[in-house]
Chains A and B, each alone.
Chain A
Amino acid sequence: MPGRKAWMVIILLVIVSPIFGVILADRIGYHEPLDVAAEKLGLSEKDVGYHTPFEDYTFPGLGPVPGYIAAGLLGVIVILVIGKLLELAVSKK
């Protein structure tokens, strides 16, 4: 059974993630490889009418670094909630 230690590691990964995903990415000029290809080809991401307040791992009202951490924590929480709902559903079977 995955324990508390595994979740501590996951939280730690999210906390240090802006070092790579924001700070170093800005310094080096990183974009998702397929976005780079699209830019070079003059393609733009098609707007399919779907928007989220957390677009590209940002968080409303927060700067890039705290926003990236908050977005990461949100993603982990969403996965955890889906997992708990699924656990509830299978335990009732």
Chain B
Amino acid sequence: MHIPDGFLDAYWVAITYAATLGYYAYLSASGRLRLDTMRVSLITTLAAAIFAAQMLNWPIPGGTSLHLLGGALAGILLGPAYGSLTLALVLIVQALVFHDGGLTTLGANILNMGIIAVLTGYYTFKYTMKLMGTPSSKSLFITGLLAGWASVFLAGVACGVEIGLSPRFPYGVEITLPVMGGWHFALGIVEGVITGLVLSYIYKRDPSIIEALRTLGV
């Protein structure tokens, strides 16, 4: 889902950079990013784990692949603000060191995978967990599955809208939205399964480290 350089025109580059920088400025100004050494250590470890997991892209015939995006997982484990910071760290390193995702499109890539995916995953998890009642490793798997799926689907939809509305891309949003949305509707299932399995495992080992559960008071 990393948009390369050249897919977005200057107008969309500016909008997506402004939205992304504005979001992190808001997080910082509202006191949602209070960093201490423990928190930084968690963010660093999760960022490295997501970076490494993203390198395991399982190719499937037809030119696409299945791999973890990690937005929902980061949001659920660390909360939406620190989850977004974790994904931003991963995406910045990928773009600057490996040129995976463009520099002009870094704002859009962070917006899609670091903000939209993280917020969607976090809130889907939180509200479905409320409906499920008492947490168990089974309910963590189901809510993780839904959160992971929804996060990738919505991030894919956002990506489709951005490239579709950008005049540089030859097809309009009426084509890119259903294509990207449909594609990520299916790819999201894999994200959901991985997110669900990881959350279920962590819940069995140490539920106290799942921030989204703490905010629910369970």
Question: A25 with B57: in contact, given A33-B63, A48-B102, A90-B35 (CB under 8 Å)?
Answer: yes
Question: B72 to chain A: closest CB distance in Å?
Answer: 18
30 A–B contacts from the bound complex (CB under 8 Å)? A13-B55, A17-B55, A17-B56, A21-B57, A24-B59, A28-B59, A29-B63, A34-B3, A34-B7, A36-B63, A38-B4, A41-B170, A43-B169, A43-B170, A45-B102, A46-B4, A46-B6, A46-B102, A51-B99, A52-B97, A55-B99, A57-B100, A71-B98, A75-B52, A76-B51, A78-B97, A79-B93, A83-B47, A87-B41, A90-B37
A59-78 with Cβ < 8 A to chain B: 68, 71-72, 74-76, 78
Question: A35 with B35: in contact, given A14-B52, A20-B57 (CB under 8 Å)?
Answer: no
Expressed in whole angstroms, the Cα–Cα distance for A50 and B99 within the complex equals 8
In the complex, are the beta carbons of A76 and B48 less than 8 A apart?
yes
Closest to A44 in B: B6
Question: A79 with B38: in contact, given A35-B4, A43-B169, A57-B55 (CB under 8 Å)?
Answer: no
Excluding A17-B56, A33-B64, 20 further A-B contacts by CB distance (< 8 Å) are A1-B38, A6-B49, A13-B49, A13-B52, A17-B52, A17-B55, A20-B55, A33-B1, A34-B7, A35-B4, A38-B4, A44-B6, A46-B6, A48-B6, A48-B103, A50-B103, A57-B100, A68-B55, A80-B44, A82-B93
Q: B136 at the A/B interface (Cβ < 8 Å)?
A: no
In the complex, are the beta carbons of B5 and A45 less than 8 A apart?
yes
* Among B41, B44, B89, B98, contact of A57 (Cβ-Cβ < 8 Å): B98
Expressed in whole angstroms, the Cα–Cα distance for A25 and B98 within the complex equals 18
B77-128 with Cβ < 8 A to chain A: 89-90, 93-94, 96-100, 102-104
Expressed in whole angstroms, the Cα–Cα distance for A41 and B170 within the complex equals 8
Set of chain A residues within 8 Å of B63, measured between Cβ atoms: 29-31, 33, 36
Closest to A73 in B: B52
Set of chain A residues within 8 Å of B170, measured between Cβ atoms: 41, 43
Question: A35 to chain B: closest CB distance in Å?
Answer: 7
Question: A50 to chain B: closest CB distance in Å?
Answer: 5
With an 8 Å Cβ cutoff, the count of chain A residues facing the other chain is: 56
Question: B106 to chain A: closest CB distance in Å?
Answer: 11
In the complex, are the beta carbons of A87 and B55 less than 8 A apart?
no
A5-39 with Cβ < 8 A to chain B: 6-7, 9-11, 13-14, 16-17, 20-21, 24-25, 27-36, 38
